[in-house]
Amino acid sequence: MSTVELSPVAHAGIRRRTNQQVIRYGFLPVPDFTLVAFANAIEPLRMANRISGQLLYTHPVFTLDGRSALASNGLTVGPSSKIDAAPMHLDALFVAPAHDLIRPGAMP
């Protein structure tokens, strides 16, 4: 099993914008989430920061219990923190659902 560590932006050479707020998008992958959809949501934010040379977006990852989330392909994603420790000043929180989440009775 492999681990993918996605952390808030910490790239050398990227400076914080001074004239505008940084947009804060949080991500909550649930067990058995689809990694491709998750990565396709985060990568454009990361690349926008890199290409612009500015911190335009942050994208912390949260889980319900603070432990790594297992994707449907067997890879795990480590969280920045537990969801109840998430900053209240997120602009949006995106949930990366599992395939079974849409099936009636799949969640307790």
What class has domain 3-99?
Answer: alpha beta
Q: What is the mean pLDDT of residues 13-31?
A: 79
Mean pLDDT over the full length of the chain: 82
Q: What pLDDT was estimated at residue 28? A: 95
* pLDDT interval class at 13 (50, 70, 90): low
Q: Are 17 and 58 in contact (CB under 8 A)?
A: no
Q: Are 48 and 17 in contact (CB under 8 A)?
A: no
Tokens of 52: 């612009």
* DSSP 8-state symbol, 80: S
Query: 10 Å Cβ neighbour count for 59?
Result: 22
Q: Is 94 left (phi over 0), alpha (psi -120 to 50) or beta?
A: beta
Which of 5-9, 24-28, 35-39 is predicted with the least confidence, judged by mean pLDDT? 5-9
Tokens of 73: 């392909």
Domain locations along the chain: 3-99
